[in-house]
C-alpha cells in the first residue's frame, strides 16, 4: 500500500498539476487567444514561493505565520502573476493568432533568462531545500485536487455568464463582437490574466512539491506540452484540456516498459491524434455520441 | 445644425490607397425614418456603414448621433450608444447557438462582472433571467424560437439573415443599420421581410438605414433614399424624386 501510494500517488499529483496548467492555457483559448505564456507565470509563481520560503529576510514572517505562510505564498504568486499579465497582456494582445503565440513564447524565454541571471532566483543553480508542506509527496493532492475542482467549477459557471459569453463571442468573430458592444481588448486581457493567475498559483504550490526550483521550470518545451494537452484533448470543452493532460502526462509512465521506444510512441500518439482528431478527443467523442444518439431518437419517433 | 436630426454625416470621407471609397458625403437622417442607401456595386455603401459603426476609421469628416460625435469611437462604444447593424456577408457567431447569439449583444445593457457571474450572486442571477427572457422574445420575433439551441452556422441563408436582425435588435438599438438584408431571398421572403422591417420600426421606435439592391423593395419601404456612386452622394430625397433624377439614371446605366 505504501509503495503504491508513493508511485501512483505522485503520478496522480503530477497529472492533476499538468491538468491545471492545461486549463491555465484554456482561459485565453476561450476568448480565442493562442497564448503560450503559462510556463512563464508557472515559473514566476514557483520562484515567489521558493523565495518566500527560504530567504532570511522572510524568516520572522515564517515563524509568525507557521504553515499559513503557504496560502500567503499562493496569494502573492497570484497577485504578482496577475499584475505582470496585465502589464504584458495589454500591449501583446494586439497581436493575433500565431503572432501572439510567438510573442508569448518570447515572454517565457525572457523570464527564463532573467531567472537564470538574477541573484534572488539563485542563478543557474536555482533555489533548493524548499520547506515541504506535507511529509509525503502524494499528499499534495490535498491542495491540487481541491484547486482543480474549484477551477472546473469556475470554468463551468463562467461559460454561462456574461463574461463567458463575451469570451465566446470574441473567439467566434472579434469584429462582430465589437459591433455587438463587447470590448474585445478588455476581455482578451481578462482571460489572459485569469490564466496567468492560475499558472502562478500552480507554480507556487509546486515549488515545495519539487523541493528545488530553477530555470528549467517553465520552458518552451512546457509551452508545447500544455498546448498539446489542450489541442489533443479538445479546445472546445473544459473536459478537453483535462483529458489531454491526463493522457499525455501519463503516457510516458504507461510506456515505461518500452524503454527508449517510448519517446517514439509518444510522438506517434501526438501525430496520429492531431491528424485524425482535429477537434480533439472530447470533440470526437461528442460527435460519436450525437452519431449514435440521433438514429435511436429517430427510431423512437416512428 | 438642427437638433431634430437623429443622425448627421458631415463631409465623411475614406480612401483606401488611391481609391476614394467614400467621398465627402454629407446627409442627415430624421428620427423614425427608414432611410435607403443605394448605388452600384463598389459605390461605397458598406464602407459608409463601417465608418458609422467605427469598424473602419474615417479619413476625414464626422458623424454624429443626436449631436454626439461618434467618429473616433471604438466599435463597441458606437454599439453602446444604441447603433446596431447587420453585415452584408453575415457575421453571426456561427459556432454558438441561436439563443447565445441573441444573448451576447445584451452585454452593454447589463453589467455583472466576472466574479459576480461565476459566483451567481443575486444581482447577476436576476440579470441572467432578464437576458434569457429577452433572448427568447427576440427568437420568437424572428421566428426561430423552435430552434434556439441549434448552432447558428447550421441555419439556412434566410434564417441566418433573420437571426442576424434579431441579434442586432438584442442590442436595444435606437438606430438599425441593415446591409442588404434581402440578399439571397426569394420574392415571397423579400415581401415578408419588408413587412417585418416596418413592424420592428414601430415596435422598437427605430430609425433604420437600409442598403439594398432590390429597387422595388427600397422604393416601397423607404421614406427617403440616398444614392452613392463612386463614393459620392449623387442624389437624396423621396423615392419618386430619386427615381427620376438624371444623375441616378446615368449612374445605373453607366454601371451596366
Ligand atoms: N478594406 C478595404 N481595403 C481596400 N479597399 C476597400 C476596402 N473596403 C472596401 N474597399 C473598396 O472600396 C470600394 C467600396 O466598397 P464597398 O464595399 O463599400 O461597396 P458597396 O457599395 O458596399 O458595394 P456592394 O454593393 O458590392 O456591396 C470598393 O471599390 C472596394 O473594393
Ligand atoms: Mg456592400
ipTM score here? 0.94
Question: In chain A, at which residue ranges do the beta strands (DSSP E only) sit?
Answer: none
Report the distance separating Cα B78 and Cα B82, nearest Å: 7
Residue ranges of chain A with per-residue pLDDT less than 70: 1-5, 259, 262-263, 266, 293-302
Ligand nearest to the CA of B40: 1
Report the distance separating Cα A35 and Cα A226, nearest Å: 11
- Please compute, for residue A147, the number of CA atoms within 13 A of its CA located in the half-sphere on the CB side: 26
Helix axes A261-276, A220-233, angle to 10 degrees: 50
The pLDDT tens digits for B107-149 are: 998 988 999 888 999 999 999 999 999 999 999 999 999 999 9
Residue-level pLDDT at B254: 65
Centre of ligand 1 to C-alpha B46, Å, is: 7
Q: Are A200 and A243 in contact (CB under 8 A)?
A: no
Inter-chain touch B85–A168, beta carbons under 8 Å: no
Ligand nearest to the CA of B232: 1
- Rounded to the nearest 10°, the torsion over CA B213, B217, B222, B227 is 20
> Coil, helix or strand for B121?
coil
Residue-level pLDDT at A1: 56
Q: What residues contact residue A171 under an 8 Å CB cut-off, 6+ apart?
A: A29, A30, A31, A32, B95
Q: Which residues are paired to B60 by β-bridges?
A: B13
Q: Which of B74, B85, B80, B6 is nearest to B48 (CA)?
A: B85
Mean pLDDT of B88-97: 96
Phi, psi of A181, deg, nearest 5 = 95, 10
Is A293 or B32 the better-scoring residue by pLDDT?
B32
Region of B66 (left: φ > 0; alpha: ψ -120 to 50; beta: rest) is left
Measuring from each residue's beta carbon to the nearest atom of ligand 1, which residues come in under 6 Å?
Answer: B 16, 19, 21, 39, 41-47, 88
Quick one: cell of B164?
442576424
- How many other C-beta atoms are found inside a 10 Å radius of the C-beta of residue A91? 9
Choose among A168, A173, A190: nearest Cβ to B91: A173
Centre of ligand 1 to C-alpha A120, Å, is: 57
Q: What residues contact residue B103 under an 8 Å CB cut-off, 6+ apart?
A: A165, B131, B132, B135, B170
Choose among B80, B118, B171: nearest Cβ to A154: B118
Atom of ligand 1 nearest to the CA of B231: 14
Give the number of residues written for chain B.
256
Across the A/B interface, how many CB contacts are shorter than 8 Å?
99
Q: Are A159 and A238 in contact (CB under 8 A)?
A: yes
The pLDDT tens digits for B191-245 are: 999 999 999 999 999 999 999 988 888 889 999 999 999 999 999 999 989 888 8
Choose among B91, B105, B127: nearest Cβ to A175: B91
Residue-level pLDDT at B53: 97
Q: Are B34 and B197 in contact (CB under 8 A)?
A: yes
Concatenated DSSP letters for A162-182?
HHHHHHHHHHH-HHHHHHTT-
Residue nearest to atom 2 of ligand 1 (CA): B16
Chain A nearest CA to B3, separation (Å): 26
Residue nearest to atom 16 of ligand 1 (CA): B44
Q: What residues contact residue B224 under an 8 Å CB cut-off, 6+ apart?
A: B33, B35, B36, B236, B237, B238, B239
Quick one: cell of A184?
474585445
Running DSSP on this structure, what letter comes out for residue A134? S
Quick one: cell of A119?
541573484
Inter-chain touch A178–B96, beta carbons under 8 Å: no
Quick one: cell of A50?
521558493
Report the distance separating Cα A156 and Cα A23, nearest Å: 12
C-alpha B117 chain-centroid distance: 30
Residue-level pLDDT at A298: 43
At the topology level, CATH places domain B1-82+173-256 in Rossmann fold (3.40.50)
What average pLDDT does the structure give for chain A? Answer: 86
Per CB-CB distance under 8 Å, the chain B contacts of A161 are 112, 114, 117-118, 124, 128
- Rounded to the nearest 10°, the torsion over CA A206, A207, A212, A214 is 90
Q: Which residue in chain B has the smallest CA separation from A170? A: B93
**N-terminal to C-terminal alpha carbon distance within chain B:** 38
Choose the residue to mutate in B15, B43, B51 for probing ligand 1, maximizing ligand atoms within 8 Å of C-beta: B43
Choose the residue to mutate in B37, B42, B213, B226 for probing ligand 1, maximizing ligand atoms within 8 Å of C-beta: B42
Which own/partner pairs from B152-158 qualify as long-range (CB within 8 Å, at least 24 positions apart)? Answer: B152/B92, B152/B93, B152/B94, B152/B95, B152/B96, B152/B97, B152/B98, B152/B101, B153/B92, B153/B94, B153/B95, B155/B98, B157/B90, B157/B184, B157/B185, B158/B184, B158/B185, B158/B189
Ligand nearest to the CA of B50: 1
What average pLDDT does the structure give for chain B? Answer: 93
Centre of ligand 2 to C-alpha B50, Å, is: 10
Q: Which of B77, B42, B58, B47 is nearest to B10 (CA)?
A: B58
On the 0-12 / 13-18 / 19+ scale of CB atoms within 10 A, A63 is: exposed
Choose among A158, A180, A190: nearest Cβ to B171: A180
Concatenated DSSP letters for B145-210?
GGGTTSBGGGS-HHHHHHHHHHHHHTT--SEEEEESTTTT--HHHHHHHHHHHHHHHHHHT-EEEE
Per CB-CB distance under 8 Å, the chain B contacts of A194 are 114
Q: Which residues are paired to B30 by β-bridges?
A: B5
Q: Are A166 and A252 in contact (CB under 8 A)?
A: no
Per CB-CB distance under 8 Å, the chain A contacts of B73 are none
Per CB-CB distance under 8 Å, the chain A contacts of B54 are 178
Choose among B55, B76, B127: nearest Cβ to A183: B76
Inter-chain touch B55–A162, beta carbons under 8 Å: no
Report the distance separating Cα B244 and Cα B236, nearest Å: 11
Running DSSP on this structure, what letter comes out for residue A131? P
Running DSSP on this structure, what letter comes out for residue B71? T
The pLDDT tens digits for B153-183 are: 999 999 999 999 999 999 999 999 999 999 8
Residue-level pLDDT at A262: 65
Is the pLDDT at B4 greater than 80? The verdict is: no
- Please compute, for residue B35, the number of CA atoms within 13 A of its CA located in the half-sphere on the CB side: 24
Which own/partner pairs from A234-238 qualify as long-range (CB within 8 Å, at least 24 positions apart)? Answer: A234/A277, A234/A279, A234/A280, A234/A281, A234/A282, A234/A283, A234/A284, A235/A26, A235/A29, A235/A280, A236/A279, A236/A280, A236/A282, A236/A283, A237/A282, A237/A283, A237/A286, A238/A23, A238/A26, A238/A152, A238/A155, A238/A156, A238/A159
Atom of ligand 1 nearest to the CA of B56: 1
Centre of ligand 2 to C-alpha B42, Å, is: 7
Report the distance separating Cα B152 and Cα A11, nearest Å: 42
Inter-chain touch B167–A180, beta carbons under 8 Å: yes
Q: Are A235 and A274 in contact (CB under 8 A)?
A: no
Q: Which residue in chain B has the smallest CA separation from A190? A: B114
Give me the residue spans of the domains in chain B.
1-82+173-256, 92-170
Amino acid at each position: 500500500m505504501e509503495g503504491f501510494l508513493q508511485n501512483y500517488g505522485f503520478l496522480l499529483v503530477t497529472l492533476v498539476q499538468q491538468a491545471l496548467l492545461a486549463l491555465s492555457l484554456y482561459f485565453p483559448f476561450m476568448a480565442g487567444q493562442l497564448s503560450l505564456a503559462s510556463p512563464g507565470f508557472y515559473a514566476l509563481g514557483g520562484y515567489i514561493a521558493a523565495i518566500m520560503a527560504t530567504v532570511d529576510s522572510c524568516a520572522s514572517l515564517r515563524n509568525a505565520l507557521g504553515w499559513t505562510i503557504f496560502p500567503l505564498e499562493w496569494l502573492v504568486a497570484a497577485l504578482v502573476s496577475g499584475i505582470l499579465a496585465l502589464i504584458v497582456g495589454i500591449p501583446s494582445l494586439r497581436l493575433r493568432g500565431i503572432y501572439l503565440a510567438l510573442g508569448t513564447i518570447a515572454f517565457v524565454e525572457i523570464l527564463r533568462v532573467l531567472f537564470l541571471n538574477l541573484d534572488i532566483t539563485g542563478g543557474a543553480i536555482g533555489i533548493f531545500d524548499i520547506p515541504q508542506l506535507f511529509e509525503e509527496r502524494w499528499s499534495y493532492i490535498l491542495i491540487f485536487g481541491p484547486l482543480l475542482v474549484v477551477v472546473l467549477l469556475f470554468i463551468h459557471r463562467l461559460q454561462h455568464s456574461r463574461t463567458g459569453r463575451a469570451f465566446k463571442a470574441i473567439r467566434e468573430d472579434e469584429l462582430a463582437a465589437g459591433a455587438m458592444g463587447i470590448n474585445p481588448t478588455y476581455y482578451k486581457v481578462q482571460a489572459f490574466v485569469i490564466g496567468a493567475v492560475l499558472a502562478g498559483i500552480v507554480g507556487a504550490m509546486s515549488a515545495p512539491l519539487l523541493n528545488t526550483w530553477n530555470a528549467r521550470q517553465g520552458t518552451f518545451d512546457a509551452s508545447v506540452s500544455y498546448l498539446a494537452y489542450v489541442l489533443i484533448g479538445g479546445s472546445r470543452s473544459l473536459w478537453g484540456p483535462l483529458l489531454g493532460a491526463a493522457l499525455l502526462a501519463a503516457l510516458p509512465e504507461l510506456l515505461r516498459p518500452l524503454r527508449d521506444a517510448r519517446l517514439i510512441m509518444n510522438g506517434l500518439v501526438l501525430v496520429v491524434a492531431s491528424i485524425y482528431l482535429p477537434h480533439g478527443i472530447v470533440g470526437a467523442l461528442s460527435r460519436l455520441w450525437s452519431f449514435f444518439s440521433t438514429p435511436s431518437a429517430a427510431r423512437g419517433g416512428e | 445644425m438642427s437638433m431634430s436630426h437623429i443622425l448627421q454625416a458631415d463631409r465623411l470621407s475614406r480612401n483606401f490607397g488611391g481609391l476614394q471609397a467614400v467621398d465627402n458625403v454629407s446627409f442627415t437622417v430624421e428620427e423614425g425614418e427608414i432611410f435607403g442607401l443605394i448605388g452600384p456595386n463598389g459605390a461605397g455603401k458598406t464602407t459608409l456603414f463601417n465608418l458609422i459603426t467605427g469598424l473602419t476609421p474615417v479619413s476625414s469628416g464626422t458623424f454624429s448621433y443626436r449631436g454626439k460625435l461618434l467618429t473616433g469611437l471604438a466599435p463597441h462604444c458606437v454599439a453602446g450608444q444604441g447603433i446596431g447593424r447587420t453585415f452584408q456577408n453575415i457575421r453571426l457567431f456561427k459556432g454558438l447557438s441561436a439563443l447565445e447569439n441573441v444573448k451576447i449583444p445584451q452585454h452593454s445593457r447589463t453589467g455583472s462582472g466576472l466574479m459576480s457571474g461565476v459566483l451567481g450572486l443575486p444581482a447577476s442571477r436576476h440579470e441572467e433571467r432578464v437576458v434569457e427572457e429577452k433572448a427568447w422574445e427576440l427568437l420568437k420575433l424572428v421566428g426561430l424560437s423552435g430552434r434556439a439551441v441549434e448552432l447558428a452556422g447550421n441555419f439556412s441563408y434566410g434564417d441566418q439573415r433573420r437571426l442576424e436582425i434579431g441579434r442586432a435588435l438584442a442590442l436595444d438599438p435606437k438606430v438599425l443599420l441593415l446591409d442588404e438584408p434581402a440578399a439571397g431571398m426569394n420574392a415571397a421572403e423579400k415581401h415578408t421581410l419588408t413587412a417585418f422591417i416596418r413592424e420592428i420600426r414601430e415596435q422598437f421606435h427605430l430609425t433604420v438605414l437600409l442598403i439594398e439592391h432590390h429597387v422595388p423593395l427600397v422604393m416601397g419601404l423607404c421614406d427617403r433614399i440616398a444614392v452613392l456612386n463612386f463614393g459620392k452622394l449623387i442624389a437624396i430625397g423621396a423615392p419618386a424624386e430619386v427615381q427620376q433624377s438624371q444623375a441616378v439614371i446615368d449612374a445605373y446605366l453607366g454601371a451596366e
